[in-house]
Amino acid sequence: MNEVLLLQGLVGGIVFGAIYALIGASLNVMVGVLRVINFAHGEFILAGSFFAYAMLMGLGLNPLYAVAPVAVLFFLAGYGAYFVLIPRLQRSDEPETSSFLLMFGVSLMMIAVLTWIFEADIRPVNFSFDPINVTLLVVEDAYGPGRDGRVIVPTARIVALAVNALMIIALTWFLYRTLTGKAMRAAIMNRDAVQIVGIDVHHLSATAFGLATAIAGVTGVLLAMVVPSVDPNGGPPLALVGFVVIVLGGLGHPVGALLAGVLFGVVEQVATVMLPQAAAQMLGFVILIAVIFFRPSGILGLAVSR
């Protein structure tokens, strides 16, 4: 029976891990390119979830249809929000500390707005695909003779994972193969130097802010498909996962964040089925502390000059 549970945990781990990977990658773009400690990242994600929820309730549309509008609208909102929020931080002596406080304020504000519009209850997101579930694997006689075990996954999770994988491929392609993506990575490596090659650092930063916001929003849509409920107070744990993932993966290292996200998700989900619940929740953070002790620049071990 352990075999079935373990496989079930592993599949869940990959689904959640891919979501954590996206959270980490988008947060990493924001922290790396902009030096903004985005404490409101969890609420950016939630806003995407609520957008999908509103489309479902208002128009009866499956959350999958929210992916494209959220990506476009959140990019534009993020691009604009950059100019309102961020440039004045750079006049401060301690832009990173100020950014943390500023984004903490934004986080509280967004929670208030979401609570105001949607009220404080946890709401189910009622939608389904046909078929509702897919049986990935049958383990014969798993529970004794004639009693087979099945590894079952909701179709919504498979669809979410597929969209997620496409996003990860697209993001990696953008950051490693296009000149604009390389300019963003260059800004992570040496922010002053991007200006001396003639890059308009405000336009680049606003684009990065928009990109990170768009990915966060789409992550929220996918999260509403994987965990079909929405909660205005669900943001802080998501931001926490994001920070854990970028520390594990290496600050300013987007691919490191992707690997770390999947690792964190798999460990968490497998531990949930194999260990007592409290111990399972602890394990991810034990890994975090171990990484900080033994590989302070992340699991890929690449130090990023600042």
Partner 1 sequence: MTPSLSRPTLATESPGIVLEMQAVHAAYHGDISVLNGVDLKIRKGLITGVIGPNGAGKSTALKTMYGFLKPSHGEVRLKGQRVNGVAPSKMVAQGLAFVPQNRSLFNDLTVEDNLRLGCWTFRKDTGRVQAALERVYEQFPILRQRHRQRAGTMSGGQQRFLELARALVLEPEIIMLDEPTAMIAPKVSRELYEFIQELPSHGITVVLVDQNVRQCVAVSDHLYVLDLGATRADGSADAFGSDEALRTMIQEWLDYQID
- Choose, by CB under 8 A, the member of 140, 145, 192, 294 that binds partner 1: 192
Q: Quick check: 171 and 163 in contact, CB under 8 A?
A: no
Binding piece for partner 1, criterion CB under 8 A, among 57-65, 148-156, 189-197, 216-224: 189-197
Shortest CB 244 distance to partner 1, Å: 23
Give the Cα separation of 130 and 227 in Å (integer).
17
Shortest CB 36 distance to partner 1, Å: 20
Q: Interaction with partner 1 in 91-110: which residues (CB under 8 A)?
A: 91, 93
Q: What is the DSSP letter of 63?
A: G
Indicate the angle between helix axes 235-249 and 254-274, nearest 10 degrees. 120
**Cα 77 to Cα 67, 83, 164, 217, 287, distances in angstroms:** 15, 10, 22, 11, 35
Amino acid identity of residue 132, one-letter, is I
Shortest CB 189 distance to partner 1, Å: 5
For partner 1, how many residues bind (rule: CB under 8 A)?
A: 22
With 0-12 CB in 10 A as exposed, 13-18 as middle and 19+ as buried, what is 188?
A: buried
- For residue 194, state whether it binds partner 1 (rule: CB under 8 A): yes
Shortest CB 250 distance to partner 1, Å: 11
User: Which residue's CB is nearer to partner 1, number 105 or number 301?
Assistant: 301
User: Which residue's CB is nearer to partner 1, number 87 or number 237?
Assistant: 87
- Choose, by CB under 8 A, the member of 58, 144, 145, 179 that binds partner 1: 179
- Choose, by CB under 8 A, the member of 58, 146, 278, 305 that binds partner 1: 305
DSSP 82-123: HHHHSGGGGGSS-HHHHHHHHHHHHHHHHHHHHHHHH-SS-E
State phi, psi for 151 to the nearest 5 degrees.
-95, 110
- For residue 201, state whether it binds partner 1 (rule: CB under 8 A): yes
Give the Cα separation of 183 and 198 in Å (integer).
11
- Choose, by CB under 8 A, the member of 169, 195, 237, 292 that binds partner 1: 195
Q: Interaction with partner 1 in 26-85: which residues (CB under 8 A)?
A: none
> Under the rule (CB under 8 A), what is the footprint of partner 1?
91, 93, 179, 182-183, 185-186, 189-190, 192-201, 302, 304-305
